[in-house]
């Protein structure tokens, strides 16, 4: 008898960020130099609503996920980001709170990485067979995010180890609560049944079917087995029929067709002949019906933990002595180095797990810029992390794991002197050590490289990617290298990562463009006061010409020379139109600025005017960057 558990983590992008914030707060409590943190900032962050946006091909930036606070303010999935931000700000002002909403881009890669880490935790604590739900090519109806948000666990023969299926659900709920996560879970004989019940079951439906599951944790359901039926628990079909048709994992056109036919739940759909459904709505709908009824069960693709090498040291006497812990880590690192050397590979990401007597284990992760087998260098990185920790209890076990590795290239030294290849290898090693040290001390997300995007706006024309702890990039074209130290030239290309804009809007920097863009771009552009005809300064100007004087921080600046304008504007598909005219100006105080004329106020005024009666608009002048 097969029994499968489906764990659905609703609103996963929001939950993932909350989970990472909780881990960050725990890390700050363990850091010696971060014990005294700003409580006002932390309280502000807790009250701030969170909005996750994604780029729609036709409708621009739309809300893909939002926290409960944002939802209470009226934010809905699919709403324009600008409108959602205004609703959140109005709600915060009404509640007398100063925290502005956090508007963040959707990061499906990070969501999947954290979900894989959670699958590894389930692998160790729940079941050895854990799968991450597979998604189709098209998004499912009712689920706006095209990403995995559920785990499927094979629990056949292991539920009794936890005291039964009800106790298993209770222990999983407690484990997720300790991580700051909330889930909806269901246990059934088949994968499709468990997925549908976990995503569509409500307390009202469960109470109407049976009252024998009142002892279960909230949002948890156990579908009775078809092999060993129970009269009190009901049948599996009785749990499936009241569910919405979107729990069948069908696409949006199929769901709309069923809605036009007046079919709202699975029970109504099962009364129709399947032959007609297949010919009119496609064979996928019939396949989903077979899966939810258990007539066909797709294979469970088990998530394999990507462990390259692992060594463990069980301490005879638990201790918190730093010298002893560093010595044991050095011995384990030597074993790992020998294992990697035999395979001609080097470590790119290492995890150190410290099991404590009372408290939960501490996890230290070190990312590297280039593959290495230098045990002293690796031990130094872990030791520097260990020295900043405050151990709440003694350590009884140390585990070192190589989660990611890469091939190592060796270079032969010339007898006639240093060759070009050896000098490149030495330079690469020095750069690698520098990046590793900075990433270890400042944090992996603080040492990054820049990747260009096809976005005309300067503030969103690039993205940052951590240098350390990432897989080796594959080179396109040319002879394939066997690995080795990464060269900085790999990151100096002009390849773009996103496809939000056409290639005609992107300008590849040239050597002659040194003065085309400023050296520093302001994170928050500064509004400039403009000199009027009477000599006074005001926030807006009615003329489209470049003003002669600006006022910034109560200091007047006169424009000596200027170059421009350069028009930069967004496409209609990216939401509200943004139009700017950029100028390079030289002031009388020997400063070079990058300023732009903002058309947003002008567009708002003209929208409320009658056709043919347009008045001259108002323009803002903004300082966006400095050349020196």
466 occurs within a structural domain: yes
At residue 236, φ and ψ (nearest 5 deg) are -65, -35
Same domain, 387 and 269: no
pLDDT over threshold 70, residue 18: yes
pLDDT over threshold 70, residue 261: yes
Residue 337 burial (C-beta neighbours within 10 Å; 0-12, 13-18, 19+):
buried
- Rounded to whole angstroms, how far apart are CA atoms 302 and 321? 40
Average pLDDT over residues 215-239: 73
Q: At what angle do helices 274-281 and 252-260 cross, to 10 degrees?
A: 120
Query: Tell me, what's the pLDDT at 603?
Result: 52
Average pLDDT over residues 23-41: 49
162 occurs within a structural domain: yes
552 occurs within a structural domain: yes
Query: Tell me, what's the pLDDT at 450?
Result: 85
Query: Tell me, what's the pLDDT at 559?
Result: 94
Residue 479, C-beta contacts closer than 8 angstroms, at least 6 positions apart: none
- Rounded to whole angstroms, how far apart are CA atoms 221 and 207? 11
Strand segments, DSSP code E, in 201-339 are 220-222, 309-319
Same domain, 162 and 264: yes
Average pLDDT over residues 342-371: 89
Which residues form the domain of 567? 520-626
Cα 189 to Cα 9, 51, 78, 167, 400: the distances in Å are 21, 37, 35, 18, 38
Last residue of a domain, one of 486, 508, 530: 508
pLDDT over threshold 90, residue 326: yes
At residue 192, φ and ψ (nearest 5 deg) are -65, -35
- Rounded to whole angstroms, how far apart are CA atoms 599 and 607? 12
Nearest partner of 77 among 58, 87, 57, 62, judged by Cα: 62
39 occurs within a structural domain: no
Same domain, 569 and 611: yes
Residue 69: CB atoms within 10 A of its CB come to 20
Residue indicated by tokens 């709309």: 256
Same domain, 403 and 534: no
Residue 343: CB atoms within 10 A of its CB come to 12
pLDDT over threshold 60, residue 233: no
Average pLDDT over residues 420-441: 67
Percentage of the chain lying above the pLDDT 90 cut: 35
In this predicted structure, which of 204-208, 229-233, 433-437, 621-625 has the lowest mean pLDDT? 229-233
pLDDT over threshold 70, residue 511: no
- Higher per-residue confidence, 63 vs 577: 63
Same domain, 443 and 363: yes
Same domain, 134 and 265: yes
Exposure string over 17-28, b if 16+ CB within 10 A, otherwise e: bbbeeeeeeeee
What domain count does the chain have?
4
Query: Tell me, what's the pLDDT at 88?
Result: 87
3-class DSSP assignment, residue 325: helix
CATH number for the domain harbouring residue 324: 3.30.1490.100
481 occurs within a structural domain: yes
pLDDT interval class at 503 (50, 70, 90):
very low
- Higher per-residue confidence, 35 vs 63: 63
32 occurs within a structural domain: no
Strands 4-8 and 362-372: unpaired
Query: Tell me, what's the pLDDT at 214?
Result: 73
57 occurs within a structural domain: yes
Query: Tell me, what's the pLDDT at 405?
Result: 86
**Beta-ladder partners of 265:** 244
Phi-psi region at 204: left, alpha or beta (left = phi > 0; alpha = psi -120 to 50): alpha
List the structure tokens of 180.
């700051």
What digits encode the pLDDT tens for the residues 481-494? 444 444 433 333 33
Query: Tell me, what's the pLDDT at 510?
Result: 67
pLDDT over threshold 70, residue 497: no
Same domain, 535 and 495: no
3-class DSSP assignment, residue 345: strand
Query: Tell me, what's the pLDDT at 608?
Result: 42
Same domain, 58 and 93: yes
Last residue of a domain, one of 508, 530, 551: 508
Query: Tell me, what's the pLDDT at 575?
Result: 58
Cα 197 to Cα 52, 129, 270, 289: the distances in Å are 27, 20, 16, 13
Residue indicated by tokens 């939401």: 575
Query: Tell me, what's the pLDDT at 437?
Result: 85
pLDDT interval class at 502 (50, 70, 90):
very low
pLDDT over threshold 70, residue 504: no
Query: Tell me, what's the pLDDT at 48?
Result: 80
29 occurs within a structural domain: no
Exposure string over 132-165, b if 16+ CB within 10 A, otherwise e: bbebeeeebbebebebbbbbbbbbeeebeebeeb
- The answer to whether 564 touches 558, Cβ cutoff 8 Å, is no
Nearest partner of 16 among 126, 117, 90, 88, judged by Cα: 117
Last residue of a domain, one of 462, 483, 508: 508
For all residues of the chain together, what is the average pLDDT? 81
Q: At what angle do helices 420-442 and 375-387 cross, to 10 degrees?
A: 20
Query: Tell me, what's the pLDDT at 576?
Result: 66
pTM for the model stands at 0.63
Query: Tell me, what's the pLDDT at 30?
Result: 52
- Rounded to whole angstroms, how far apart are CA atoms 335 and 254? 56
Average pLDDT over residues 365-388: 90
Same domain, 543 and 619: yes
List the structure tokens of 444.
């992996």
Query: Tell me, what's the pLDDT at 24?
Result: 66
- Rounded to whole angstroms, how far apart are CA atoms 448 and 526? 26
The total number of residues written for the chain in this structure: 628
- Rounded to whole angstroms, how far apart are CA atoms 445 and 467? 8
Same domain, 389 and 471: yes
Same domain, 163 and 281: yes
In this predicted structure, which of 2-11, 54-63, 404-413, 560-569 has the lowest mean pLDDT? 404-413
3-class DSSP assignment, residue 584: strand
Cα-trace Rg, the chain: 30
Same domain, 385 and 437: yes
Average pLDDT over residues 288-299: 90
pLDDT interval class at 133 (50, 70, 90):
very high
CATH number for the domain harbouring residue 115: 3.30.70.270
């Amino acid at each position: 008898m097969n029994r499968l558990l489906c764990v659905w983590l609703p609103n996963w992008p929001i939950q993932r960020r909350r989970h990472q914030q909780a881990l960050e707060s725990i890390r700050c409590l363990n850091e010696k130099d971060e014990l005294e943190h700003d409580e006002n900032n932390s309280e502000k962050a807790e009250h701030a609503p969170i909005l996750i946006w994604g780029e729609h091909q036709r409708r621009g930036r739309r809300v893909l996920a939002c926290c409960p606070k944002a939802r209470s303010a009226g934010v809905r999935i699919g709403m324009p980001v600008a409108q959602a931000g205004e609703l959140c700000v109005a709600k915060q002002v009404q509640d007398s709170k100063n925290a502005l909403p956090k508007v963040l881009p959707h990061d499906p890669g990070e969501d999947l990485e954290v979900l894989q880490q959670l699958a590894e935790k389930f692998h160790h604590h729940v079941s050895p067979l854990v799968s991450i739900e597979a998604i189709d090519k098209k998004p499912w109806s009712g689920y706006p995010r095209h990403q995995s948000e559920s785990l499927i666990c094979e629990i056949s023969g292991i539920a009794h180890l936890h005291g039964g299926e009800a106790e298993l659900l209770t222990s999983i709920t407690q484990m997720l609560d300790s991580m700051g996560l909330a889930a909806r879970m269901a246990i059934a004989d088949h994968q499709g049944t468990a997925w549908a019940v976990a995503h569509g079951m409500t307390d009202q439906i469960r109470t109407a079917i049976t009252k024998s599951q009142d002892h279960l944790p909230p949002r948890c359901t156990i579908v009775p087995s078809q092999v060993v039926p129970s009269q009190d628990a009901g049948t599996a079909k009785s749990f499936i029929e009241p569910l919405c048709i979107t729990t069948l994992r069908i696409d949006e056109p199929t769901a709309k067709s069923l809605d036009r036919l007046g079919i709202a739940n699975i029970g109504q759909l099962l009364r129709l002949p399947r032959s007609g459904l297949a010919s009119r709505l496609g064979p996928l709908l019939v396949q989903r019906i077979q899966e939810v009824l258990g007539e066909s069960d797709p294979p469970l693709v088990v998530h394999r933990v990507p462990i390259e090498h692992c060594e463990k040291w069980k301490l005879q006497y638990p201790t918190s002595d730093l010298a002893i812990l560093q010595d044991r880590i050095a011995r384990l690192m030597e074993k790992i180095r020998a294992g990697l050397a035999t395979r001609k590979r080097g470590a790119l990401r290492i995890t150190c797990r410290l099991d404590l007597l009372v408290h939960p284990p501490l996890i230290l992760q070190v990312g590297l810029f280039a593959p290495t087998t230098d045990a002293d260098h690796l031990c130094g990185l872990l030791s520097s992390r260990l020295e900043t920790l405050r151990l709440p209890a003694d350590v009884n076990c140390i585990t070192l794991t190589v989660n990611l590795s890469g091939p190592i290239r060796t270079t032969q030294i010339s007898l006639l002197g240093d060759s070009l290849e050896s000098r490149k290898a030495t330079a690469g090693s020095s750069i690698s050590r520098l990046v590793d040290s900075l990433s270890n001390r400042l944090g992996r997300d603080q040492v990054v490289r820049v990747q260009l995007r096809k976005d005309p706006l300067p503030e969103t024309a690039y993205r940052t990617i951590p240098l350390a702890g990432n897989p080796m990039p594959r080179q396109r074209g040319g002879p394939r290298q066997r690995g080795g130290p990464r060269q900085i030239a790999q990151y100096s290309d002009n390849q773009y990562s996103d496809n939000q804009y056409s290639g005609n809007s992107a300008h590849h920097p040239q050597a002659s463009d040194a003065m085309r863009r400023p050296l520093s771009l302001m994170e928050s552009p500064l509004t400039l006061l403009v000199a009027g005809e009477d000599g006074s300064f005001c926030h807006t100007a009615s003329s489209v010409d470049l003003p002669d004087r600006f006022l910034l921080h109560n200091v007047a600046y006169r424009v000596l020379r200027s170059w421009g304008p350069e028009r930069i504007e967004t496409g209609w598909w990216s939401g509200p139109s943004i139009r700017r005219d950029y100028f390079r100006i030289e002031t009388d105080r020997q400063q070079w600025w990058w300023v732009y004329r903002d058309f947003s106020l002008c567009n708002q005024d003209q929208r409320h005017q009658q056709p043919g009666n347009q008045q001259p608009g108002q323009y803002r002048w903004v300082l966006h960057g400095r050349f020196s």
